[in-house]
Amino acid sequence: MQTSSTSPPALDPIRDVIRRVWGYSELRPLQHEAMTAARGGRDTLVVMPTGGGKSLCYQAPALLADRPTVVVSPLIALMKDQVDNLSARGVPAAFLNSSLTVADRRRVADGMLNGEYKLIFVAPERFASGIFWDLLEAGGVGAFAIDEAHCISHWGHDFRSDYRRLDQLRQRYPDASLHAFTATATPRVREDIAAQLHLREPEILVGDFFRPNLKYAAIERAYGFTDVIRAVKNRSRQAGIVYCIRRADVDELAASLQAAGVNAAGYHAGLSDDARTRVQDAFTAAETDVIVATVAFGMGIDRSDIRFVFHAALPKSIEHYQQETGRAGRDGAPADCTLFHHYEDYVCWQSIIEKEGGSDASGQLGMLREMYAFATSLSCRHRKLVTYFGQEWNRTSCDACDVCCGDVASLPDATVLAQKIMSAVYRTGERYGPAYIGEVLVGDATERVQARGHDQIPTFAAMLDYPIREIRAWIDQLADQGLLRREGEYNILKITPAGWRVLRSETDARLMPVKQPKRARKSRSSRRKTPGDVFAPGFGPASLTSRASGPAAPKAPPVPEGPLDIDARNLLERLKSLRREIADELNAPAFVVFSDRTLRAMARTRPTSATQMLEIKGVGPQKWEAFGQRFLDLIQETPTEPRP
């Protein structure tokens, strides 16, 4: 038998310090790589989802280094906690930000000069002061860790001008290594971070953005916040965050939830610092279950058992969405991320961005478009998020989103509709974009359609009964499913092999219903020759605005006034009780549902379709969407008395 003398394995100083100081026996993915590079003095760019454990990547190497590490972070509110936490573990650390008194600042400065600290946390605005630069030089710095590093990039979703000063770090401290950390960085932002900070051959480490315990879903919102309130009420006593666009929405929704018995609190930048701290602390301490917030809430939230993150409206970008939903389920247990959206959110953000008019407005509008496309898409939501951040996706299904789990309602005639669309693409030679295919399908004999003889092909007017907007949205959905492919600048549509299988009826396609954005469907005549699109080509709702600015639909004939007959009076009573029922559900006065005048018009004209309902004064698309169908059903169910 052979014997071998084996020396004990060399102790890994990184694992050792982590075990001793933090008590962790395992490292999370990429932590060891990040720490090893940092230990070796190599620049790093670490992209890890929220909760991935980025802090440890700079804290552990800092303990092993001779010279201190300066951590730049915009999260002033968290610095004290971080320092307290480290101090409790025996790690000498301090922070410098505007919250300190002059005396405290002097004390920390003295400590830095005496080399007392391993870690010094500073806010980016410190770098505006020449004295601070001098202090760093005098104290010496071994490494800079730049947290939330995407804030340095104009291409990111959270640009901060203070971060731009960090571009001088390299030149002023050529001996110090630089380490950038972020949870959200697309490949373009990543490159920009590396360029702005002048990173030297950085080790770029990108974590896994797939979080299978998060179940993603997107639902088109009905009237007001009723859907959201119902969803939150169903999550009794679970921890959750509900994001809104505006402060007023936060106040309204928080009040409605409280009235519905939910232990909820609102949080937005309009509250005093004290009030915000109180709300955040109560949530962290599990005294509050649900926070209703604007984007101002959440950076650095230290609660791992968040069971749901709902968006009551569309967020501004996929970066925001990913970061906000990333706060759910950090303990690894299942959590729901449901996005309640409506086209009006898109319009709202668009006007906010345009009003702000920043130099990167067009970039922001582009991000907004991507977000809307995400919400209305029929492709795996995890895949979309993961690939958005530049990661490969090799799974066939995520089993953790509404699309992959089959929760997205498909139209019963989806395959036939898809076949019509794809055959229009085929019969026009796979040479045109969505706008043109839409024209052909609705039978719009524009000059260009006639010139190419496409008004003579069998698919011309094959979808005469559908608004072009719906067809455009379905084209996007087919592309999302990989049945159509868009090519080049003009989004020329081509049929993919999977698309051919649908065309040959070998497999089915799925299409989601497309709801009305703002106004009623238009009559056929209003479709012709409307102004061009204002959105980027190929983007789903492109035709919305162009169509909305087109000629108006013909007006409904005026409803004759006068006394109601017996049937109409009977129906009116039933309509009124339905109105009461809905008003109770909404916790709103009855007139908010429909006015008496509108109900009388319904009773008199007895509409039989959505179009006829929408012609009644007081029935807008929003109300139609929210509860119109219930009134229409009631009208159909209410018999008229047989006449002698």
Q: Is 61 in the site for ligand ADP (CB under 6 A)?
A: no
Q: Figure out which of the listed residues 54, 268, 454, 604 binds ligand ADP, where binding follows CB under 6 A.
A: 54
- SS3 at position 359: coil
Q: For ligand ADP, which stretch binds (CB under 6 A), given 53-61, 149-157, 280-288, 387-395?
A: 53-61
Q: How far is the CB of 520 from ligand ADP (least distance, A)?
A: 47
Q: Which is nearer to ligand ADP, 53 or 366 (CB)?
A: 53
Measure the CA–CA gap between 80 and 85, rounded to whole angstroms.
8
Q: Which of 33, 39, 41, 53 binds ligand ADP (CB under 6 A)?
A: 53
Q: 56 vs 475, which CB is nearer to ligand ADP?
A: 56
- The C-alpha atoms of residue 441 and residue 424 are separated, in whole angstroms, by 7
CB of 326 to ligand ADP, least distance (A): 8
Of 14, 48, 335, 619, the residue at the interface with ligand ADP (CB under 6 A) is 48
Q: Which is nearer to ligand ADP, 22 or 490 (CB)?
A: 22
Single out the segment in contact with ligand ADP by CB under 6 A; choices: 45-53, 114-122, 233-241, 450-458. Answer: 45-53
> Which tokens belong to 587?
């916790």
Place of tokens 């990989």: 482
Strand intervals (E) in 522-598 = none
Please list the alpha-helical segments (H only) found in 140-186: 161-164, 169-172
Query: Which of 54/454 has CB closer to ligand ADP?
Result: 54
Residue 298 binds to ligand ADP (criterion: CB under 6 A)? no
Residue 351: other Cβ atoms inside 10 A = 10
Contact in structure between 314 and 342 (CB atoms under 8 Å): yes
| Candidate segments 46-54, 446-454, 471-479, 629-637, binder of ligand ADP by CB under 6 A | 46-54
Binds ligand ADP (CB under 6 A): choice among 36, 55, 387, 410: 55
Which residues are paired to 146 by β-bridges?
A: 72, 180
| Residue in 37, 51, 475, 535 binding ligand ADP, rule: CB under 6 A | 51
Cα dihedral 362→364→366→368 (10° resolution): -140
Spatial distance between the Cα atoms of 77 and 117, rounded to a whole number of angstroms: 20
Do the beta carbons of residue 215 and residue 334 sit within 8 Å? Answer: yes
Based on the number of CB atoms within 10 Å of its own CB, is 589 exposed (0-12), middle (13-18) or buried (19 or more)?
Answer: exposed
Nearer Cβ to ligand ADP (50/516): 50
| Distances in whole angstroms, Cα of residue 576 to Cα of each of 472, 569, 591, 625, 629 | 38, 10, 10, 19, 15
Nearer to ligand ADP, 293 or 314 (CB): 293
Query: Considering the complex, what minimum distance in angstroms separates the CB of residue 553 from ligand ADP?
Result: 51
Q: Judged by CB, which is closer to ligand ADP: 31, or 196?
A: 31
- Rounded to a whole number of angstroms, the minimum distance from the CB of residue 109 to ligand ADP is 27
Q: How far, in Å, CA of 125 to CA of 127, rounded?
A: 5
Q: Which is nearer to ligand ADP, 27 or 264 (CB)?
A: 27
Given the rule CB under 6 A, which of 50-58, 155-163, 224-232, 484-492 is the region that contacts ligand ADP? 50-58
Q: For ligand ADP, which stretch binds (CB under 6 A), given 1-9, 23-31, 447-455, 461-469?
A: 23-31
Q: What are the structure tokens assigned to 293, written together?
A: 């917030």
CB of 157 to ligand ADP, least distance (A): 17
Does 27 bind ligand ADP (CB under 6 A)? Our answer is: yes
306 φ/ψ angles, rounded to the nearest 5 degrees: -70, 115
Q: State the amino acid at position 593 in one-letter form.
A: V
Task: Give the up-direction half-sphere exposure of residue 459: CA atoms within 13 A in the CB hemisphere.
Answer: 22
* Cβ proximity to ligand ADP, 24 vs 426, nearer residue: 24
- The residue range among 20-28, 378-386, 477-485, 505-513 that interacts with ligand ADP, by the rule CB under 6 A, is 20-28
Site for ligand ADP in 594-613 (CB under 6 A): none
Tokens 């017996």, residue located: 566
Report, in Å, the least distance between residue 264 CB and ligand ADP: 25
- Give the nearer residue to ligand ADP in terms of CB position, either 28 or 494: 28
Contact 523, 553 (CB under 8 A): yes
The encoded tokens of residue 489 equal 């600048």
Residue type, 472: R
**Quick check: 52 binds ligand ADP (CB under 6 A)?**
yes
Q: Does 85 bind ligand ADP (CB under 6 A)?
A: no
Nearest to 429 by CA among 446, 454, 403, 405: 454
Task: Identify the three-state secondary structure at position 145.
Answer: strand
Q: What is the dihedral of CA 482, 346, 583, 308, to 10 degrees?
A: 70
Q: Report yes or no: 94 and 117 within 8 Å, Cβ to Cβ.
A: yes
In the list 12, 21, 24, 416, the residue contacting ligand ADP (rule: CB under 6 A) is 24
Structure tokens at 169: 């770090």
Shortest Å distance, C-beta 118 to ligand ADP: 17
User: Measuring CA to CA, how many Å separate 74 from each of 98, 245, 297?
Assistant: 12, 22, 14
Provide the minimum distance between the beta carbon of 165 and ligand ADP in the complex, in angstroms, as a whole number. Answer: 23
The CA distance from 328 to 240, in Å, is 8
Report the sign of the C-alpha dihedral through residues 633, 636, 640, 642, in that order.
Answer: negative
By rule CB under 6 A, what string of x and - marks binding of each residue 154-183 to ligand ADP? ------------------------------
The answer to the question of residue 303 lying near ligand ADP (CB under 6 A) is no
Q: How far is the CB of 251 from ligand ADP (least distance, A)?
A: 29
50 binds ligand ADP (CB under 6 A): yes
Residue ranges of alpha helices (H) inside 225-360 are 226-233, 247-259, 273-284, 318-325, 343-356
Which residue in the shown chain puts its C-beta closest to ligand ADP?
53
Region binding ligand ADP by CB under 6 A among candidate stretches 24-32, 129-137, 339-347, 502-510:
24-32
For residue 549, the SS3 value is coil
Total number of residues binding ligand ADP (CB under 6 A)?
13
CA 166 to chain centre: 29
Q: Can you tell me which of 56, 242, 253, 473 binds ligand ADP, judged by CB under 6 A?
A: 56
Pick the binder of ligand ADP from 12, 15, 21, 28 (CB under 6 A).
28
Exactly one of 26, 201, 561, 641 binds ligand ADP (CB under 6 A); that residue is 26
Distance CA(2)–CA(30), nearest Å, equals 38
Interface residues toward ligand ADP, by CB under 6 A:
24, 26-28, 31, 48, 50-56
